[in-house]
Structure 1
């Protein structure tokens, strides 16, 4: 008896998540919610979802940021948009030195439109 099995990754856009500043692009951009599902396949047919991951992806530079399951449930709700924006800021500035952080924050203030 011959059995063929494997794994298949499927990525798809769930929808738009929020508008927030991207420190890689240096602009305020729309961030998209993407979901990646890894399936167990038998005879090249997806049968069992094995792993599922959520990402916030910048619409311009396509930088993905992994989001944990608790945060991914609230993506798209207006009430949690500020918390997601704070999470994105924190994540993008996490590996920066204090000098780099202050420069990026100054660039952000300079590029934001005046009202």
Structure 2
């Protein structure tokens, strides 16, 4: 018997983008919020969607930062909150990159 099963990831951009500084490429750039959903399929038919993750991605160097699931879900449901929470998101990005740069230098 022959089975054709597979896994795939689907990325959906959520507008509007936010503007903040990226420590990796050193540029002030727009960051886009993406909803990442992993899909399981059988014979090219999606049979299971896993719980989505939410990523902020730098528009210049494509550096991804995973958001806490609840915050990402809240922003995806009401995209008008993205601009209202721009300062909070920018500080999350800065803190995340600061920790990663320090960790990479120590390795």
- Distance in 1, matches of 2:84 and 2:12, equals 24
CA RMSD for the aligned pairs? 2.2
Count of paired positions: 98
The structure that has the greater radius of gyration is 1
Gaps of at least 5 residues in structure 2 are: none
Do the aligned residues in 2 keep the contact of 1:18 with 1:32 (CA within 8 Å)? Answer: yes
**If the length of structure 2 is used for normalisation, what is the TM-score?**
0.76
Alignment of 1:22-61 (within 5 A): 22-61=22-61
Gaps of at least 5 residues in structure 1 are: 101-115
- Distance in 2, matches of 1:96 and 1:33, equals 22
Alignment of 1:33-112 (within 5 A): 33-72=33-72, 73-74=74-75, 76=79, 77=81, 78-97=83-102
**Which structure would you say has the larger RCO, counting Cα contacts within 8 Å and 6 or more residues apart?**
2
**If the length of structure 1 is used for normalisation, what is the TM-score?**
0.72
- Distance in 2, matches of 1:10 and 1:74, equals 18
